[in-house]
Amino acid sequence: MGNGELGVGIVGHAFMGAAHSQAWRTAPRFFELPVQPVMRLLAGRDAQRAHDAAARLGWQESTDDWRDLIERDDIAIVDICTPGDSHAEIAVAALEAGKHVLCEKPLANTADEAVAMTEAADRAARSGTVAMVGFNYRRVPAIALARRFVAQGRIGPIRHVRAVYLQDWIVDPEFPLVWRLQADRAGAGALGDLGAHIIDLAQFVTDDLLGGVSALTETFVTRRPLAEGSTGLSAGGAGTAMGEVTVDDAALFIGRFDDGAMASFEATRFATGRRNSLRLEINGGDGSLAFDFEAMNELWFYDHTLDADEAGFRRILATEPSHPYMDAWWPPGHGLGYEHTFTHEIADLVTAIGKGEQPRPTFADGLQVQRVLQAVLDSAAADAAWTPVPH
């Protein structure tokens, strides 16, 4: 970092790479950052595709080897937007080279990998290098407002948490065997992809940790047509090359938080008609909070301390300048979208780096989510046996 600039390199340029790239372009234009990020180098597996993506997404240069990011002195932060099977290798190498790291969720494919990454982050922190996990939904203003309400004691002691993440993008059995459906690439299916988000949100908003779970998982379509880059070849009907789906299609589990609150979680890619429905409801002794990402600018609040003749859920439109992140954007009532969560993520990261502070969520936070994921898988494999979550 020099002359008030922070050189950035990114690994990956598909869905998450594009979302992060837009955030790197946008954050310094809307937020007053202590240091300016410069989009220097994009890495991908194919040189031509990486070149084209860099030009399209706003990066100065491209490469087909992520190790180039590690070796360059003008890159201070490495942004990892790859499948989970490469997170540990890239993150540990970057941290050992003194680079700050932003890594997409879930942190790793296994708890052991997440431990190694967290230990590397702890070592790097001694010299001022930071690492953060990309749980972008924390940066929805309404979600951040819900956490504020809980911290202020507005709903009293937490009794019950319900977290649901519903999608339907693989309902069609002819949908191809992409990397997200292969355990060696993704680690887990709906559980790791969607469940990681709602686990993190539940723990973030309540400021409490899950202490144990009892779980079921299911794979509804076990074989799919092969996609480019997929593995697990087997015979298919009418000459179609097929592969084995090695992750869950849906996960359902209950849990208990350390402070005693009960919780239920549901993550599925088979909820027909639900494109990206993430819902969170928290019930406390003095009130409740409810959020649905399909109406992401709204937080619903029930104040149980009011008299019954005036009590009821009321909608809070989380677009006021006093609400989290909103003072950087539009006049009240002008809502934000999915892409803004990543912009807030980048703004928080760069601000922390510029101030010499540790951003959240840390790799340790990501490790805790990974341990919940592992406990869910272990419980499901043991016929829903109650399984403690180590802290």
Q: Model pTM? A: 0.95
pLDDT of residue 231: 53
Q: Average pLDDT over the chain, rounded to whole?
A: 96
Tell me the C-alpha distance between 24 and 43, whole Å: 15
pLDDT of residue 235: 47
Write the single-letter amino acid at 127: S
CB 257 within 8 Å of CB 209: yes
Average pLDDT over residues 188-217: 98
Comparing 228 with 41, the larger pLDDT belongs to 41
CATH of 5-137, one of 3.40.50.720, 2.40.50.140, 1.10.3720.10, 3.30.70.60: 3.40.50.720
pLDDT of residue 8: 98
Secondary structure (DSSP) of 42-94: EE-SSHHHHHHHHHHHT-SEEES-THHHHH-TT--EEEE-S-GGGHHHHHHHH
- pLDDT by residue (tens digit) across 68-85? 999 999 999 999 999 999
Nearest to 148 by CA among 32, 318, 295, 271: 318
Average pLDDT over residues 255-277: 98
Cα dihedral sign for 147, 367, 375, 180? Answer: positive
Q: Is the pLDDT of residue 1 over 50?
A: no
pLDDT of residue 227: 81
Domain positions in the chain:
5-137, 141-336+369-381
Write the single-letter amino acid at 158: I
Average pLDDT over residues 95-108: 98
Tell me the C-alpha distance between 321 and 53, whole Å: 35
- pLDDT by residue (tens digit) across 320-338? 999 999 999 999 999 999 9
Bridge partners, 288 (sequence order): 283, 302
Tell me the C-alpha distance between 284 and 303, whole Å: 10
- What is the b/e burial string over 60-73, where b = at least 16 CB atoms within 10 angstroms of the residue's CB? eebbeebeebbebe
Q: Is the pLDDT of residue 381 over 60?
A: yes
Q: Is the pLDDT of residue 237 over 60?
A: no
Q: Is the pLDDT of residue 166 over 70?
A: yes
Portion of the chain with pLDDT greater than 70, in percent: 96
Q: Is the pLDDT of residue 193 over 90?
A: yes
CATH of domain 141-336+369-381: 3.30.360.10
pLDDT of residue 3: 65
Report the alpha-carbon angle 21-124-83, nearest 5: 40
- When pLDDT is cut at 50, 70 and 90, the band that residue 240 belongs to is confident
pLDDT of residue 340: 98
The DSSP code for 330 is P
- pLDDT by residue (tens digit) across 113-154? 999 999 999 999 999 999 999 999 999 999 999 999 999 999
Which range among 62-66, 228-232, 235-239, 291-295 shows the weakest confidence by mean pLDDT? Answer: 235-239
